Amino acid sequence: MSTVKEQLIENLTAEDKISQHKVTIVGAGAVGMACAISILLKDLADELALVDVEADKLRGETMDLQHGSLFFNTSKIVSGQDYSISANSKLVIVTAGARQQAGEIPLWSGVNVAGVPLKSLNPNLGSDSDKEQWKNVHRQVVESAYEIIKLKGYTSWAIGLSVADLSASILKNLRRVHPVSAMVKGLYGIKEEIFLSVPSVLGRNGLSDIVKVNLNPEEEDLFKKSANTLWDVQKNLTF
């Protein structure tokens, strides 16, 4: 006796079981789920896999997304505590890392609007002698994350949307420029193998190129200072 499905649908060709744009997200916390919903709503994946060590939360989040799958185009959403669930992924997103540290690098000479460098309009931009005090903009950007953490305990939505934007450049091979962490050994006189955020080209092969921005002497000194700060921590790490 045929099943209800067999009575309703007649299969003509075998389904390709290997996803073409599978994305795995490791961590089903607030940031991981913000990444998940952002990627789903942008239609970037034909399969989404979630990995987490907390079984009940993982199952609940997966079911919640599956119940909402009518409203986006990713029909396959899976999850598991074992990393084997990530097999055949085009992109794996790990939502774990250290919190933002105080004292972070604005590159005022590179700030522009529609290609017009703001430094050409105000040579003192970002300095103590700047009457408009653009340094306050930098301070507000740095402190905004701490303010959000103070108010709600964590940041998530802006991170998820940012990750989705990066994912689009990679999965669609857009080769757009993004400020992401890259190996900077050999740049600006840096001799250690460390990673700093610099304008980089993202595409199908990941980070393929670094844009070599011209820094003024003050900015180059600040860049090296950040490099030294990271190296002081990194050199004592053992694996």
Max CA distance (Å), the chain = 85
Q: Per DSSP, what are the bridge partners of residue 77?
A: 48
**Would you say 49 and 80 are in contact if contact means Cβ atoms under 8 Å apart?**
yes
The torsion of the CA quartet 84, 85, 88, 92, rounded to 10 degrees, works out to: -100
Residues of each domain in the chain carrying CATH 3.40.50.720: 18-94
Q: Per DSSP, what are the bridge partners of residue 80?
A: 51
Q: Count the Cβ atoms, other than its own, within 10 Å of residue 171.
A: 20
The pLDDT value given to residue 149: 85
The pLDDT value given to residue 100: 52
Residues of each domain in the chain carrying CATH 3.90.110.10: 175-239
Short-list 69, 59, 76, CA closest to 23:
76
* Angle of CA points 31, 178, 99, to nearest 5°: 35
The pLDDT value given to residue 106: 60
The pLDDT value given to residue 133: 83
Query: Left (φ > 0), alpha (ψ -120 to 50) or beta: where does 226 sit?
Result: alpha
The pLDDT value given to residue 177: 95
Alpha helices (runs of H) in the chain, residue ranges in sequence order: 4-8, 30-41, 55-67, 118-121, 135-152, 157-171, 217-234
Q: Which CATH architecture has domain 175-239?
A: Alpha-Beta Complex (3.90)
Distance of alpha carbon 12 from alpha carbon 191, whole angstroms: 60
Distance of alpha carbon 103 from alpha carbon 80, whole angstroms: 39
**Would you say 168 and 42 are in contact if contact means Cβ atoms under 8 Å apart?**
yes
Any idea which fold 18-94 has? Rossmann fold (3.40.50)
* pLDDT tens for each residue of the chain, 239 residues long: 789 988 899 888 887 778 889 999 999 999 999 999 999 999 999 999 999 999 999 999 999 999 999 999 998 999 999 999 999 999 999 996 555 544 457 667 677 777 777 777 787 877 778 888 877 877 787 778 888 888 888 889 999 999 999 999 999 999 999 999 999 999 888 999 999 989 999 999 999 999 988 888 888 888 888 898 889 888 888 87
The pLDDT value given to residue 102: 44
